[in-house]
Amino acid sequence: MVLDHAPVVSANTRTSINQRAGRAKRGLQALFAPGAVAVVGASRDPTKLGSLILRNIRRSGFPGPVYPINPRARQIQGLPAYPRVTAVPGPVDLAVVVVPRDAVLPVIEDCAARGTLAAIIITAGFRESGPVGAAAEEALVQVARAAGMRILGPNCLGVIDTLTPLNASFAARMPMPNGIALVSQSGALGTAILDWSAARQLGFSKFVSLGNEADITESDLLDLWETDESVRVAAAYLEAIPDGGHFRTAACRFNRRRPLVVLKAGRTEAGARAATSHTGALAGSDAAYAAAFHQTGTLRVDTLEALFDAALAFSTQPLPEGRGLTIVTNAGGPAVVATDAASAEGLTLAPPGERTRQRLRSILPSSASITNPIDILGDADARRYRQVLEVVQADPATGAILTILTPQLKTEVEETAGVIAAARAEESRPIVASFMGGPGVRSGVDLLARSGIPNYPFPERAVGALAALARYADWRRRPPGEVRRFTVDRERVAAVLMEARRQGWSTLDAYHTAAVVAAYGIPVPRGDLARDAEEAARLASAIGFPVVLKVVSPDIIHKSEVGGVRTGLGTAEDVRRAFTEIKAAVSRKVPTARIEGIAVWAMAPPGIETIVGLALDPTFGHLLLFGLGGIHVEILRDVTYRLVPVTDLDAEEMTREIRAAPVLAGTRGQPPADRAAITAVIERVSQLAVDFPVIRELDLNPLIVYPEHHGAVAVDARLTLSV
């Protein structure tokens, strides 16, 4: 995002900002690795949350001091208890708060007084419960902000860090340590996942239940973890992102170093409704979320299973260099299934090179298939797997490797797992496995888990995880693109919008909209406003025939329907007559309409009709749309979106990723369309949106596009303003 003016900040303010930023970051760090923890609301009653959390912290092996806070107890679980946080003798970096709602504010005030860096507020009954709770939540944030203290929650399950180690949550199960950092806007989902992972290969470095996100958000955590070596991949369950701008910056930076995989729930209308009733948060449109994920390199998955399948692969495997996949299998059927999945996911199974084929032929029985999938037959023992893997690994053309095993008569399950583990040791490509079966493959699956090789019970899921690696690696390799700034007539637009505000217009008329659009270098037909028939005829002659006449009135939106439009006027006489007729028709149909005049436009020759649109998303701000016009946008919904500002690469991609893109490339004997003209229009609209946030919607519909080097012209435009 390029700013026109750097913010002007005094040296003093800057120091203070840096101090605050430093403290804010220390607050985040204190969530995961505090020096000392207080449990406010610790209880002697073992069935109470305050007792459970205290026990979880201590059982997790947390190395620092733990202080139970309870005004009515001297000792809890053998530890000396203190009546309030301010009474604790040493520093308290982190407070876990489980007192009733109305007691939370005084606790936070105490924490602030004590210099506590962060508080985890488990207590519920805040924003999610209605306006009273929301006000109480706001009060907490005020106190915390003033003291530079960070808050997680309220209404959350807490935090786990397997490295520290610290389980400051009420999830009883401390997960296996490994590279996945799990962030969840649903606490219950998080605990279910931790429980689920106990029987699987998933290991976590962190788990954060975000709760109401009164202060700390997923974006804060991405900022923190960007440089945290214990985080190999962040997996997030999200229902709504509170600060779209922060997310874009944070996710983009994070993804440049390690991957963020997201399941965004509420992607359908019904799902969004369910999420709203559950969190009270207002979600932006799914198109905006999709654009945000796409533009930040965030990997979006559609199911919980896919989230963890991908996280497992990212947490254990290197990134692939391309989209190649090599399958080694002892059964044909599963390999066909895997090939279908690969094809659907855009992975390619290149046949091995001639030298590799020769070597395979010398190893394998003649009925084996040495193309890719490489079917080493049902009687393959571990030795055959090893020999084939050696050959495949020696071929630089080999892509990511998927080894499929079904338990057959001569299958050596555990030994084959050992072969794969050994193969992985000196391999820079991803290696995953699909040992299919239950008890018959258990020993192999266990060995794979211990060796850091993801195993998927079905080959499609293995392929899905590899495809996630490939998509992310693609993004990492792609140049980031550039937000170009064009020389434009910003003052002109400012003047028009000022006039609009003065007049109280929320929708600009076509004439003023064209002025705005033209000021940003987007071609519009030549045209001007005529007040009488003679002026219209004169303007038409100057513009050149044929022309179009359109009534200009702030009171008329659908001009054609009231007889306010006449096209294809070829002579001055036609223009004069059309002027009179339009005026009469409009006055008759909308007698109250204020008519400013009738605009005379050059008539654009036919070309490919496209649409460039701009809408305002509550989460992410301006969202830009591109597609072909008419039924393509209205019925087929064949459109693509980006958040503003768009880079040159984004704009170019947009013209290529609609389904109807071949139409622009030139088909059925038509020349290729002027794609460069479209991308320039997209980028200029983006610049306009950045410069004038007051613009609510802008539709260039149609933007007629001509053959290469012949440009594009916005023949009609509609602009509305935020009031």
| Region of 98-106, 185-193, 250-258, 311-319 interacting with a copy of itself (CB under 8 A) | 185-193
Q: What tokens were used for 359?
A: 């070597």
- Residue 100 sits in the site that holds a copy of itself (CB under 8 A): no
- Residue 350 sits in the site that holds a copy of itself (CB under 8 A): no
Among 84, 246, 278, 710, binds a copy of itself (CB under 8 A): 278
Among 631, 657, 693, 709, binds a copy of itself (CB under 8 A): 631
Among 227, 268, 503, 567, binds a copy of itself (CB under 8 A): 268
Among 1, 146, 199, 723, binds a copy of itself (CB under 8 A): 199
- Residue 49 sits in the site that holds a copy of itself (CB under 8 A): yes
| Touching a copy of itself, residues 531-550 (CB under 8 A) | none
- Residue 123 sits in the site that holds a copy of itself (CB under 8 A): no
User: Cβ 132 to a copy of itself, closest distance in Å?
Assistant: 12
| Region of 161-169, 437-445, 484-492, 580-588 interacting with a copy of itself (CB under 8 A) | 437-445
| Region of 23-31, 330-338, 530-538, 580-588 interacting with a copy of itself (CB under 8 A) | 330-338
One DSSP character per residue, 550-604 reads EEE-TT-S-TGGGT-EEEEE-SHHHHHHHHHHHHHHHHHH-TT----EEEEEEPP
Rounded CA gap, 657 and 650, in Å?
10
Helix (H) or strand (E) holding 118: strand 118-121
- Residue 127 sits in the site that holds a copy of itself (CB under 8 A): no
Q: Which is nearer to a copy of itself, 5 or 668 (CB)?
A: 668
Return the SS3 of 326.
strand
Secondary structure E strands in 574-711: 597-602, 608-617, 621-628, 639-643, 695-705
Residue with tokens 């044909």: 332
| Region of 82-90, 113-121, 341-349, 466-474 interacting with a copy of itself (CB under 8 A) | 341-349
Rounded CA gap, 145 and 111, in Å?
12
| Residue 28: count of CB within 10 angstroms of its CB | 18
Among 438, 479, 504, 591, binds a copy of itself (CB under 8 A): 438
Among 148, 318, 452, 630, binds a copy of itself (CB under 8 A): 630
| Region of 58-66, 170-178, 504-512, 589-597 interacting with a copy of itself (CB under 8 A) | 170-178
Helices (H), 122-170: 131-147
Helix (H) or strand (E) holding 308: helix 304-316
| Touching a copy of itself, residues 9-28 (CB under 8 A) | none
Among 13, 16, 18, 371, binds a copy of itself (CB under 8 A): 371
| Touching a copy of itself, residues 214-243 (CB under 8 A) | 237, 239
Look at residues 425, 399, 426 and name the one whose alpha carbon lies nearest to residue 327.
399
Rounded CA gap, 272 and 270, in Å?
5
- Residue 653 sits in the site that holds a copy of itself (CB under 8 A): no
Among 332, 452, 521, 707, binds a copy of itself (CB under 8 A): 332
Amino acid at 270: A
Q: Which is nearer to a copy of itself, 210 or 530 (CB)?
A: 210
| Region of 490-498, 502-510, 662-670, 678-686 interacting with a copy of itself (CB under 8 A) | 662-670
- Residue count, binding to a copy of itself (CB under 8 A): 91
Q: Yes or no: say if 513 and 537 are a contact pair by the CB < 8 Å rule.
A: no
Rounded CA gap, 199 and 92, in Å?
36
String of b and e for 410-434 (b: at least 16 CB within 10 Å)?
A: ebbbbbbbbbbbebbeebebbbbbb
Among 440, 521, 707, 711, binds a copy of itself (CB under 8 A): 440
- Residue 408 sits in the site that holds a copy of itself (CB under 8 A): yes
Amino acid at 305: E
Among 319, 572, 660, 676, binds a copy of itself (CB under 8 A): 660
| Region of 92-100, 253-261, 344-352, 698-706 interacting with a copy of itself (CB under 8 A) | 344-352
- The alpha-carbon radius of gyration of the chain (Å, integer) is 32
Cα 437 to Cα 262, 328, 383, 414, 590, distances in angstroms: 29, 17, 21, 13, 74
- Residue 636 sits in the site that holds a copy of itself (CB under 8 A): yes
Secondary structure E strands in 219-367: 233-238, 260-264, 299-301, 325-329
Q: Which is nearer to a copy of itself, 197 or 205 (CB)?
A: 197
- Residue 606 sits in the site that holds a copy of itself (CB under 8 A): no
Rounded CA gap, 261 and 296, in Å?
11
User: Cβ 507 to a copy of itself, closest distance in Å?
Assistant: 21
605: CB partners within 8 A, 6+ apart: 704, 706
Among 56, 162, 212, 330, binds a copy of itself (CB under 8 A): 330
User: Cβ 207 to a copy of itself, closest distance in Å?
Assistant: 14
- Residue 188 sits in the site that holds a copy of itself (CB under 8 A): yes
- Residue 457 sits in the site that holds a copy of itself (CB under 8 A): yes
Among 146, 409, 425, 723, binds a copy of itself (CB under 8 A): 409
Q: Please return the burial class of 250, using the count of CB atoms within 10 Å of its CB with bins 0-12, 13-18 and 19+.
A: buried
Among 73, 290, 337, 495, binds a copy of itself (CB under 8 A): 337
